[in-house]
Copies of this chain bind each other. A is one copy, B any other.
């Protein structure tokens, strides 16, 4: 298991969080998602094989932009 953090731009409300959660939840290996519209922080926990690029693509699919943090 590993955890990755991302900063997401453009989320404004709980509906936005839900959109990100739904898309990122479809990335293979993802087992937990913490996301906050207020801070823009997205924390993804999953198996070691979870690709950051897949998470970024999922956020993009939801309609927002993310960058890896740390």
Chain A interface size, as a band, is: under 10
Interface of A is mostly: helix
Whether a CB of chain B sits under 8 angstroms from the CB of A67 is no
Whether a CB of chain B sits under 8 angstroms from the CB of A57 is no
Measured CB to CB, the closest approach of chain B to A52, in angstroms, equals 26
Measured CB to CB, the closest approach of chain B to A40, in angstroms, equals 14
Whether a CB of chain B sits under 8 angstroms from the CB of A43 is no
Contact mask for chain A residues 13-55; partner B; CB cutoff 8 A; 1 contact, 0 none: 1011011000000000000000000000000000000000000
A and B contact pairs by CB, cutoff 8 A, 9 listed: A12-B12, A12-B13, A13-B13, A13-B15, A13-B16, A15-B15, A15-B16, A15-B18, A15-B19
